[in-house]
Amino acid sequence: MNAPTAAPKAQFKQRVFSGIQPSGSLHLGNYLGAIVKFVELQKSHDCIYCVVDLHAITVWQDPAELPVAIRDVTACYLAAGIDPKKHIVFNQSQVAEHAELAWVFNCVARLGWLNRMTQFKEKAGKDRENVSVGLFAYPTLMAADILLYRATHVPVGEDQKQHLELSRDIAQKFNNDFGKSIAAHGHGDVFFPQPEPLIQGPATRVMSLRDGTKKMSKSDPSDQSRINMTDDADTIALKIRRAKTDPEALPSEEKGLEHRPEADNLVSIYAALADISKADALKQHGGAQFSAFKAALTELAVSKLQPIGSEVNRLMQDPAHIDAVLADGAERAQQIATETMKAVKDIVGLVRR
Ligand code: TYM
């Protein structure tokens, strides 16, 4: 993966923040779109990786299942190779400042900005009057997650791009609205950085195995549409074998994938898992029939995912260990969050203890 380029404003320390919702089992899209990059960025940056449980409860979550889902995302982070000692791993609800800053941002963001969010429109569907207020305000909480740590880089999949743009708008409006106060409190010209989305590589949008025009998603009712991080080798093999394709052989060049969404998706997944470009994947497999390509893809997917899946299962046997990791991470995250919130309160003009 390319290292992040153009550094934002010089006064901001480079810091990575990202999060995943504990709202169902993690899948290959989460892994290739986000987690692989989280792991890579540890080499070059200070990183904060969050399990965003407050985002998850914007839609109904069974209270008996939510703690398991929170630990499951944490286990996935650890099993994939995130080091919770060198970096920070925690769940959002343990650091109350996320909700506190989100409220301030609710007063900065404009209704019209949130009305334009396509993910809200998709999730709310026709039943807009009946969804939670939290689901609508969700992107202001996401901006708070990032800006609480004044993070400069945010690795995400393609579907989060618009939310990242909104975070940048909120940061900018806050800096503008409170410009004088920011300077008066000794913070220079701007208080919040403009967080850069990092959306890179061949698998920024992994599609459903059943329909190459739909995103692979935790909420798809068909389990056959996705590969879960804890699927065993036989299940992975079966899902890939059943994945929708077309009757043609694979092309030798990327252009040949145009208008072939399912072929494009499988080649993208292969390239991302092998850490090569799509062009290189096609150099290796161009001309192959899907039966042969699917066998190669299965072998690759199993070799990459199975060690992670079994480590997740092992870690999940010891919830106390996972909870200790989260508590330690929350404590360290809160130290940064407390400082930001003190400054924000001063800047906004709220009297504090
Ligand atoms: P979430 O939990 O839906 O997804 C977690 C991450 O996985 C990526 N992703 C995908 N990437 C490629 N192909 C797919 N099919 C696919 N599905 C999911 C997402 O883009 C994301 O990077 N709002 C966020 C969570 C969040 C967050 C944040 C992220 C809350 N606060 C602050 C970054 C910074 C979400 O719902 O992701």
CB within 8 A of 177, min separation 6: which ones? 108
- In a 13 Å sphere around the CA of 340, the CA atoms on its Cβ side amount to 24
How many angstroms is it from 20 CA to the middle of ligand 1? 6
How many angstroms is it from 30 CA to the middle of ligand 1? 7
Q: What pLDDT digit, counting tens, does each position of 37-92 carry?
A: 999 999 999 999 999 999 999 999 999 999 999 999 999 999 999 999 999 999 99
Tell which residue, 154, 108, 172, has the closest CA to residue 15.
154
What are 37-42's contacts with CB under 8 Å, separation 24+?
37/1, 37/155, 37/198, 37/200, 37/201, 38/77, 38/80, 38/82, 38/155, 39/80, 39/81, 39/82, 40/1, 41/16, 41/153, 41/155, 41/198, 42/81, 42/82, 42/83, 42/86, 42/87
Angle at which helices 290-316 and 66-80 cross, to 10° = 110
Give the separation between CA 41 and CA 82, rounded to whole angstroms.
10
Q: What pLDDT was estimated at residue 69?
A: 97
Q: What pLDDT was estimated at residue 184?
A: 97
Cα-to-chain-centroid distance, residue 14: 18
Residues in a beta bridge with 49: 18, 89
Angle at which helices 278-285 and 290-316 cross, to 10° = 130
To test ligand 1's pocket by mutation, which of 17, 23, 30 has the most ligand atoms within 8 angstroms of CB? 30
Contact 220, 23 (CB under 8 A): no
For the chain, list the domains and their CATH numbers. 15-204+318-348 (3.40.50.620), 223-315 (1.10.240.10)
Q: What pLDDT digit, counting tens, does each position of 128-178 carry?
A: 899 999 999 999 999 999 999 999 999 999 999 999 999 999 999 999 999
Residues designated as active site: 123, 215, 218
The DSSP secondary-structure symbol of 201 reads S
- Ligand 1 atom nearest the C-alpha of 216 is 15
pLDDT > 80? residue 334: yes
Give the separation between CA 225 and CA 97, rounded to whole angstroms.
37
Confidence tier at 238 by pLDDT (50, 70, 90)? very high
Q: What pLDDT digit, counting tens, does each position of 263-284 carry?
A: 999 999 999 999 999 999 999 9
Full-model pTM: 0.95
Of all protein residues, the one whose alpha carbon is nearest to atom 18 of ligand 1 is 30
